[in-house]
Chain A
Amino acid sequence: MQHRRGFWLFVGTALLIMAAYNLTPFFWMISSSFKTDIEVTSYPATLLPQAFTTAAYARIWDQEGFVLYFINSIKVSGGTAVLSAAVGIFAAYGFSRFRFQGRTALMAMLLITQMLPGVLLVGPYFKMLSLVDLYDTHLGLILAQTSITLPFTVWMLKGYIDTIPVEIDQAAMMDGATRFQSLIHCVFPNVLPGLVATTVFSFLLAWGDLLWALCLITTPEKQTMTLGITNLVGQFRVLWSDIMAATVIGCAIPAVFYLMLQRYLITGVAGAAVKG
């Protein structure tokens, strides 16, 4: 498709406005993370640090055990993302490609499970984990997060699989492929953009969770990043520069993951369909 120069100018400007909108709070975060404790709460507020200091990053790095929290968060979020994508794609394929008894009811049930707030569910879930001795473990936390991400994952993936022409799997099955093989070889490559979207979704959901991690994890060394950051809002002091510094790093990690994944967002259906 050929576009005129005006079109590109418009798209470029619009994208720059979007970037400015998205980055403004980050500007404030980064600027505050380099201020001293006193400057960060001074009035009138300064837009850029007057006395530039990296003390907050140093504190986050050595004192507070944040390196460990980041690793824990990557583990829990990664585990949640992988588990819900792996289980979700099968279920989504089933819901998209088959018409079976109870299909609509099951699909609806998936969403209904998400209508009760976590506040109520966390108590009984804790009891269950306690019975099987999984409480205070990352696995217990991953399972809890998966119960939230899985229904969303299935719905999203089903939407994407619906857009892939059924003829593609049928052609493969004519050639003797099983359902499973056709899912792996024909549907999977085409649904990659959707899979990226759902993986990012699951990862970020687990990344930002507070309630479940707060209730299920008691050992400080197993804490997640979000819990660690909220602990900086102490009884006696709110360490704003530390909060900002930890958040900046906390946002950079998923951003890097996403940077690696984003090129799969452009694996379009059309290209693969030609091959099929």
Chain B
Amino acid sequence: MAGKLNRRQFLIRSGVAGASALSLPALLAACGGDDGGSGGGGNSLFFENWPEYIDEETVALFAAASGVDFKYTDAYNDNNEYFAKVQPLLAKGKKIEPDIIAPTFWMAGRFVQLGWAQKLPVDKIPNMANLRDDLKGQPWDKAQEYNLPWQTGIAGIAYNMKATGRELKSVEDLFDPAFKGKIGMLTEMRDTMGLVLLGLGKNISQITTFDEAAAGFEKMEKAKNDGQIRAFTGNDYLDDLSAGNFAACVAWSGDVLQLAKDNPDVKFFIPEEGGTSWFDTMIWVKGSENGDAVAKWMDYVYDPVNAARITASVQYMSPVKGVQDELVKLGGEAAALAEDTLLFPDDATLARLQSWGALAEEEEAKFDEAFAAITGA
């Protein structure tokens, strides 16, 4: 119940924060012009991140250790909506308030391609060497100079054992008529469609045009018309899953690990056909002048000791090498996490994960429009 209240509050807070904390000061800043940034040496930092995506200590510890005037908010709640919010300022060459944001990889790619991200002060981030090798050199950032991953995770399937009455193992289970009207999907197109396409045996990392994915969209359209899908949700799917409104749904690994602690009926699995992997990644927004503070922060969270503390709290896969060893050192519950195959997947699990490649602007528009038609909007 407490968890529910928290998400309620967070929805409201993000609404209010979205309106006031983001746009209003940004607009005021845009009107007011210069607010006294002192070149690269600015000693303040503003990181706008997703909700419930950091532990309770790190913000204060970093501020104390670095002397940076650090502000951390969790008003980043949806990639597309955040983009729509900041586009009016960035498109006009004005700056937005946050120095760092952590969009999902494909949205980070869009920021980079539009020229709205700055090259990171890589020289001042020695711990960047701890970045996991599999995350390096994205197609839109081959030299690894624009983005530094924050957390990574898996989109798979979660289900409520009480509502399904049986173990699930396949994407096909989402389309089982026995669960008619009890299936939830995410509004995040890549996570939902990725699983459906994997279920059809497609290799999503190779998909570059809409035509290659059309079969998956047809399958979804049919499922929607049959009343199979109950709702498309964002972060709030956890409520429906826990309450038994969803028998099964597309879900993010870390969320469900947190929920399963309170509700043992809730289970998460990577379907036998495969799951999608994704990462949210820090970028330095164009117009920010606090390069030194940005470097200090990124270096700080790429220290495995600090990264392990964050992992122990958010329970997503860390992009930082060496976290597993640090978790063992922490002992107790944290040490148990070091054994978790969803946090530290073995090679066999990793082999079953795929991630989306880059989609060209026009093709991405087709995907988004087709997906909007399925969500009913």
A and B together in one complex: no
| Chain A interface residues toward B at CB < 8 A | none
| Chain B interface residues toward A at CB < 8 A | none
